[in-house]
Amino acid sequence: MLLYAIGLIAQIFFGARTLLQWVMSERARKSLSPSIYWILSMVASWLFFIYGWMREDFAIILGQIVSYYIYIWNLDSKGLWRKIPIELRVLLVGTPPAAIVLASGDAASFVSTFLQNESVPMWLLIFGSVGQLIFTLRFVYQLIYSYRRKESLLPMGFWIISVTGSAVIIAYGIIRRDPILLLGQVPGIVTYIRNITLHKNSYGAAGKVDL
């Protein structure tokens, strides 16, 4: 019960960030990168990381590690990260690696627990990991794009990668019968497609689309 409660709360935060970004973007008639999006992202990612660890699902954990720190970068880019008390910042930065160490014990135990999980066939583990990797790469792309422009942005390429990764994760969630994954991805993919449309409309008048 606690496992699914943590996963559900994380998905609520993920869903809230998507909904708020969508609403704010619709009002502005263009795809925005609001601060609340990154705040909710970091909190939800932290909870989802715990969920993946408790469920012994390497695909979920793989999808959280990189994006979690990119959320922090975006918060810093918006001038919010340094406003958080130093003690809390240390806790937030150190929680993921600490949780991995506590969960794995040693390298052999980590491989045995996650990569050789009997409840998840290897082909399915690889499939799910690929989906999570694609989904994570959208934030790597967003980081590179934003870093070059020296501001936090959500470009069209981010949403295109989001749709691709989300489709794979939805298929993974259906096969694993994981309601938490499906709850987070099915509504989200609609928002990703809508943001692509907003980008097209925003840049259409200029005769080009900035990916």
CA atoms of 124 and 63, how far apart (whole Å): 15
Distance CA 130, CA 56 (A): 17
Residue-wise pLDDT tens digits, 108-133: 555 665 556 666 777 787 888 788 88
Predicted pLDDT at 37 = 96
Average pLDDT, the chain: 84
- 21-57 exposure pattern, b = at least 16 Cβ within 10 A, e = fewer: bbeebeeeeebbbbeebbbbbbbbbbbbbbbbbbbeb
- Does pLDDT of 105 surpass 60? no
pLDDT band, very low/low/confident/very high, at 178 (cuts 50, 70, 90): confident
pLDDT digits (tens, 9 = 90+) for 39-90: 999 999 888 877 877 776 665 676 678 889 999 999 999 999 999 999 999 9
* 90 class by beta-carbon count within 10 Å (0-12 exposed, 13-18 middle, 19+ buried): exposed
Q: Does the predicted TM-score (pTM) go above 0.85? A: no
- Identify which of 148, 150, 56, 141 has the alpha carbon closest to the alpha carbon of residue 100: 56
Q: Calculate mean pLDDT across residues 174-194.
A: 83
